[in-house]
Amino acid sequence: MNSRRITLIVAIVLAVTTGLLTLRYLNSVNQTAQVAVVESKPVVIASRDIPTRAKITPDMLTLVKRPANEVEPGAIADPHMAIGDVSLIAIPMNSTITDSKIGQPAAVGLTARIKPGMRAVTIPVDAIKSVNGLIQPGDRVDVLASVQKGSGDRPRTYAIIRGALVLALNSTIEPTPDQSPAPGTSGNVPQTVTLGVTVQQADLLTVADLNTTLRLALRSPNEPLRAEAEEPLDFQDATPAPRVVPTPAPPPVVAVAKKERPSVTIVDGDRLIEGNQ
């Protein structure tokens, strides 16, 4: 191999090596530039697990900085904007605090769950009427009204409301984990159930509660709400028949015998004359 060929090979190797080094350098410069372009933003995260409906206090929050492209939409950048609010959902530790996860205390009350055009109506229940206390807030139920008809007639039951939303059991508006006893009751049987119904259904439910026996039927969450039609309640059936009070028979007429006056015998000479006194 002559010197010219060796020189050529060396030149080619040097050129390739130089090119690779140059390409690697340019890539590193581009990566550094991209990192420099991504700015960081302050965000508030949970310093510990925050349960649902907990009031936000300063010890629950930590201010950190994160790349702007990793910040969640609606992230809170100032801890003072979250202090005093209430967690709408459970927030795990190190999770970003966003405006969709917290809200004012009124946002977690019953009024926040009632949509426009809906009403909250409470009815009394017991173990039988509430499916043995297994109903939870958020479930859907049918309301059945049983009507006791007149003597000798068969009772009727009407499904007057389909798919009513259970808003609360007693004063509890959150599901009770593991069916544990609800406050204010013995065992896990509620005493009252609050349902979300329409305006017309609120009127119907109130009258039916006063004139019929109500019972709740738990629905499957996978069943369409309008799978079956509601049954109109005939309130004439729900009105007890008027009590018929028999008219007492008149006392028997007792014939009173006419009392005769005692007769008097009159002596007129040789005649006897009888007459009344």
Q: Is the pLDDT of residue 225 over 60?
A: yes
Q: Is the pLDDT of residue 73 over 50?
A: yes
Q: How big is the chain by its Cα radius of gyration, in Å?
A: 45
Q: Which of 106, 80, 69, 76 is nearest to 91 (CA)?
A: 76
pLDDT in the model for residue 238: 46
Residue-range domain boundaries for the chain:
40-108, 111-238
Q: Is the pLDDT of residue 259 over 70?
A: no
Distance in angstroms (rounded) separating the CA atoms of residues 145 and 205: 9
Q: Is the pLDDT of residue 108 over 50?
A: yes
Contact 170, 239 (CB under 8 A): no
Task: Report residue 20's pLDDT band, with 50, 70 and 90 as the boundaries.
Answer: confident
Contact 234, 166 (CB under 8 A): no
Distance in angstroms (rounded) separating the CA atoms of residues 110 and 119: 11
CA distances from 218 to 57, 86, 191 (A): 39, 31, 17
Burial of 80 per CB tally in 10 Å (0-12, 13-18, 19+): exposed
Structure tokens given for 237: 């059936």
Q: Which of 103, 110, 78 is nearest to 88 (CA)?
A: 103
pLDDT in the model for residue 42: 93
Per-residue pLDDT, averaged over 122-140, amounts to 90
Q: Is the pLDDT of residue 214 over 80?
A: yes
Q: Is the pLDDT of residue 17 over 90?
A: no
Quick: pLDDT tens for 172-199: 877 766 555 444 444 568 899 999 999 9
Contact 160, 143 (CB under 8 A): yes
Fold of the CATH domain 40-108: Type Iii Antifreeze Protein Isoform Hplc 12 (3.90.1210)
Q: Letter for the amino acid at 248?
A: P
